[in-house]
Structure 1
Amino acid sequence: MPGPEAAARQPGWFLILFALAAAGGAVAYVPLLTVLLPQRIAELQGAEDVAVLARVTFFGAVVASIANIVAGILSDRSALRRPWILAGLALSSVLLIAVGEARSASELVLLVMAWQVGLNLMLAPLMAWAGDCFPDSQKGVLGGALALSPALGALAGSLVTYGGLVPPEARLWLVAALVAALVLPAVIFGGARRRAELLQPRPEVLPGSTVPRGQAVRRMWLARFLVQVAEGGMFAFLLFWLRSLAPDFPENSAANIFSLVLVCAVPLSLLLGRWSDRHGRPILPLAGCALLCALGMLAMAGAGDLTQAVAGYVIFAIAAAIFLSLHASQTLRVLPAPEHRGRDLALFNLTNTLPAMVMPWLTVLLVPELGYSALFVLFAVLSLVSAVLLASFARPLATPGN
């Protein structure tokens, strides 16, 4: 039986539809968690309430982690992906709209927790479905296409809150409609896209390598976790840090820099992903991006003015965005058991949720006494360790041109 790398390539139209479906997941949560949820809390409490927001964020992250694992297992055991995606889309859409109808902070917390269940019922089988459909020879360009997710998520957040374009009471309805419009085409037209070769047992050693799959999985998990700690820290404290250098630095400028980074990352991710497919070097771009993350952080730590600081951040943020999108697809290459693909991807999803629990403590311990420079040096070290972990098996793992 031909190996997974020899499976038939997917047509471009399906790659595009799948990338849009994955972006639908980001559109589902980015506007809510970054803008609409804090606004709803302020409406309920009469003012900004950091304690309620922290409670919603923490319990939501816990539920998301558990729900993602359970949803992955369910899609594995049923050997089905699309029905679970549709069920999760329907449930999350209904609960998203219900968030706007919450009448108390406690009700809001419970609704967001329930919404996380529906969202992850959609997201977990969606990413596992990618592993069922896209051969190793397309995983680089798939990862590049996944860079659309954060960019469209940020764009959706801007769209639903732009001026008076959308009435406040219609914003959650619009988000739900956008998610459905992005997710449904891939699910409806992708019925015969699974590849039998990708559902067969995988060899214990990565093709073209001496690295056991189990070892590669552990290194990939830890490498992503370390970069996510650094990326999560910068996402949360970017504005505070910039204002420590320039007290009058405006909010919208920080948002514009963040959006510009995400937009720039899309074509660069596609180029690097395509290069990795053609040359059979799937891990090398990941190691290179992790190294760039470290260099960007060191530039930020040593920045003497705002221009140097922003330049260092742009280097770090673009490298991190490329790393995370390419890593998401190349993880599918190293997972050992197709029959447990949903469960295993859910365990990788912990690298997205656990940093949110680790990063605040690092910030509280370091910044008050040593300043942001010490925090950035620590993040640079974490990114450098990630680069070393990946460089240890960054040799060719596939035949170029497959």
Structure 2
Amino acid sequence: MPFRFALPWAARPSREGLEVAPAHRSIGFLLIFALANAGGVIAYLPLLTLLLPMKIEAVAGEARIELFTATVIAGAIAASLSNILFGWLSDRSVARGGGRRRWMAIGIVATLLSFACVVIAASPAEIILSIIFFQAAVNALLAPLLAIMADEIPDAQKGMAGGLLSLANPVASAVSAILVSMSALDEASRFAIVSLAIAACAAPLLLVRARPIPAPTAARPAVVMLRRDLAIVWGARLLVQVAGNALSLYLLYYFESIAPDQSPLTMASRVGHLLTIAYIIPLPIAVLLGRLSDRLNRRKPFLLAMAALAAFGLVIMALAGDWTMAAAGFCLYAIGSAVFLALHSGFSMQLLPNPDHRGRDLGLLNLTNTLPALLGPLLTWSLATPRDFDTLMLVLAGLALCGGLAILAVRGRR
């Protein structure tokens, strides 16, 4: 019998003739998935953190917080429903042998069309409707994308894969910084650049054939325990994400309150560069801690520590009286929050009770990303003014810390 050398990343054919992923995925595949996830974040982060606030400020002026709050609440409702819907539809496609990537492609095309609607929107009502369309479209991309991680990356690598997800924020924030630093670009050109970036990041994963991991042979915790634990991690992420959503959506306005003497465009450029720096720093930390959590098979201590760091950064932002201190606090917050959310993604996927409904269940878990878009703006509206965000920052710090402490109640995983 001739000797056959099997590459470590090569797929194995199953008895049904379908490709099944090896027990260990190559770093190349993990990077391709992380790049596609970066494309998904590029689809919404520049829009929601810089481009949309700038557009609303130009349309609404001093009424910008009210209009922005109404816009993100309407968009959050659309995002919540559409993520569950497209997760379920991708589950159906998998059951029928079609896979999830087709829904990713549909989501990309719809997202690009929604950008055109945002560009031509000229009134408060048109802005709100265009964001509703955008949120539905971008979640058609994001829902099947995250389900692919649960399908095709083994549990023993989910910590590192989750760490690599933190690549998305620095890449997306770099795109944001480029967009606002190039003052000669008009609005349509900025959205065209975002569209090209999304397509370039997602294309490699779309071209890779689906290779689902084999069903686990070792005994898993009872389904009842998994559901209980999943509810706990759902609540923990919700608390951390309320803080993150309120901060990210109103970050430009927060820094305007710290340095009111600067023009909106200048401040947008400074915030864009700060986002790039603050989101690059967590990347090596998330990958290192993700890999360490894989080796130790323990994620809860890392999650608690990162939530506490995020809360500490928010306290500094509440006490800040100048740009330097506020920026330092935001960097500490960004490290803690980004690493927490990256590790939490892999942790929560290990608690999914039924492999046949991963897309739907992740859609329900995604409510921790979209419900904060309802709660965060309401907190901001009630606790902040265009000139004072201190009380809001302290409340958000308390929520982030409570989210980390809640993780300790999980019993099915360490």
Aligned mates of 2:188, 2:399 — CA distance in 1? 43
Q: Does 1:70 align with 2:85?
A: yes
For 2:279, the aligned partner's letter is: L
Deviation string 1:190-248 (CA, Å, 9 cap, x unpaired) is: x14211226x8983449xxxx92112101111111111122223324445555656654
Deviation string 1:283-322 (CA, Å, 9 cap, x unpaired) is: 3211111122233334445557765554433322210111
Shift of 1:345: 0.8
Aligned mates of 2:149, 2:141 — CA distance in 1? 13
Q: Does 1:195 align with 2:195?
A: no
Which of residues 13, 25, 31 is equivalent to 1:16? 31
Q: Does 1:318 align with 2:335?
A: yes
* Farther off after superposition, 48-57 or 284-293: 48-57
Partner of 1:182: 201
- Kindly indicate whether the alpha-carbon contact (under 8 Å) linking 1:71 and 1:120 is maintained by their aligned counterparts in 2: yes
For 2:34, the aligned partner's letter is: A
- Kindly indicate whether the alpha-carbon contact (under 8 Å) linking 2:318 and 2:393 is maintained by their aligned counterparts in 1: yes
Which TM-score applies when normalising by structure 1?
A: 0.84
Which of residues 324, 328, 344 is equivalent to 2:361? 344
Which of residues 93, 102, 110 is equivalent to 2:112? 93
Shift of 1:388: 1.8
Which of residues 218, 234, 245 is equivalent to 1:221? 234
Q: Does 1:27 align with 2:38?
A: no
Shift of 1:155: 1.3
* Farther off after superposition, 347-356 or 54-63: 54-63
Q: Does 1:383 align with 2:400?
A: yes
Root-mean-square deviation (Å): 3.1
Partner of 2:377: 360
For 1:326, the aligned partner's letter is: L
Indicate the percent of aligned positions where both proteins have the same amino acid. 36
Q: Does 1:272 align with 2:289?
A: yes
For 2:82, the aligned partner's letter is: A
Which TM-score applies when normalising by structure 2?
A: 0.82
- Kindly indicate whether the alpha-carbon contact (under 8 Å) linking 1:298 and 1:377 is maintained by their aligned counterparts in 2: yes
Partner of 1:3: none
Q: Are the structure 2 counterparts of residues 344 and 98 from structure 1 closer, same or farther at C-alpha, using a change threshold of 3 Å?
A: same
Partner of 1:110: 129
Which of residues 126, 139, 145 is equivalent to 1:120? 139
Partner of 1:234: 247
- Kindly indicate whether the alpha-carbon contact (under 8 Å) linking 2:39 and 2:201 is maintained by their aligned counterparts in 1: yes
Q: Are the structure 2 counterparts of residues 90 and 303 from structure 1 closer, same or farther at C-alpha, using a change threshold of 3 Å?
A: closer
Q: Are the structure 2 counterparts of residues 106 and 389 from structure 1 closer, same or farther at C-alpha, using a change threshold of 3 Å?
A: closer
Which of residues 303, 306, 309 is equivalent to 1:286? 303
For 2:174, the aligned partner's letter is: L
- Kindly indicate whether the alpha-carbon contact (under 8 Å) linking 1:40 and 1:100 is maintained by their aligned counterparts in 2: no
Partner of 2:154: 135
* Farther off after superposition, 100-109 or 64-73: 100-109
* Farther off after superposition, 230-239 or 152-161: 230-239
Q: Are the structure 2 counterparts of residues 188 and 110 from structure 1 closer, same or farther at C-alpha, using a change threshold of 3 Å?
A: same
- Kindly indicate whether the alpha-carbon contact (under 8 Å) linking 1:99 and 1:112 is maintained by their aligned counterparts in 2: yes
* Farther off after superposition, 327-336 or 220-229: 327-336
- Kindly indicate whether the alpha-carbon contact (under 8 Å) linking 1:38 and 1:48 is maintained by their aligned counterparts in 2: no
Q: Are the structure 2 counterparts of residues 265 and 342 from structure 1 closer, same or farther at C-alpha, using a change threshold of 3 Å?
A: same
For 1:381, the aligned partner's letter is: G
For 1:317, the aligned partner's letter is: A
Q: Are the structure 2 counterparts of residues 248 and 318 from structure 1 closer, same or farther at C-alpha, using a change threshold of 3 Å?
A: farther
Aligned mates of 2:390, 2:349 — CA distance in 1? 36
* Farther off after superposition, 153-162 or 11-20: 153-162
Q: Are the structure 2 counterparts of residues 158 and 307 from structure 1 closer, same or farther at C-alpha, using a change threshold of 3 Å?
A: closer
Shift of 1:372: 4.7
- Kindly indicate whether the alpha-carbon contact (under 8 Å) linking 1:88 and 1:120 is maintained by their aligned counterparts in 2: yes
Deviation string 1:30-58 (CA, Å, 9 cap, x unpaired) is: 22233333455577x59686255444322
Deviation string 1:361-399 (CA, Å, 9 cap, x unpaired) is: 33444457xx755433332332222222112348974xx
- Kindly indicate whether the alpha-carbon contact (under 8 Å) linking 1:201 and 1:338 is maintained by their aligned counterparts in 2: no
- Kindly indicate whether the alpha-carbon contact (under 8 Å) linking 2:73 and 2:377 is maintained by their aligned counterparts in 1: no
For 2:189, the aligned partner's letter is: A
Partner of 1:330: 347
Shift of 1:121: 1.1
Aligned mates of 2:234, 2:355 — CA distance in 1? 17
Aligned mates of 1:291, 1:254 — CA distance in 2? 24
Which of residues 258, 261, 278 is equivalent to 2:278? 261
Deviation string 1:129-152 (CA, Å, 9 cap, x unpaired) is: 110001111111111110011221
Aligned mates of 2:282, 2:154 — CA distance in 1? 23
Which of residues 166, 178, 182 is equivalent to 1:159? 178
Q: Are the structure 2 counterparts of residues 310 and 103 from structure 1 closer, same or farther at C-alpha, using a change threshold of 3 Å?
A: closer
- Kindly indicate whether the alpha-carbon contact (under 8 Å) linking 1:284 and 1:395 is maintained by their aligned counterparts in 2: no
- Kindly indicate whether the alpha-carbon contact (under 8 Å) linking 1:283 and 1:394 is maintained by their aligned counterparts in 2: no
Shift of 1:357: 1.7
Q: Are the structure 2 counterparts of residues 109 and 379 from structure 1 closer, same or farther at C-alpha, using a change threshold of 3 Å?
A: closer
Aligned mates of 2:326, 2:193 — CA distance in 1? 36
- Count of aligned residue pairs for this structure pair: 383
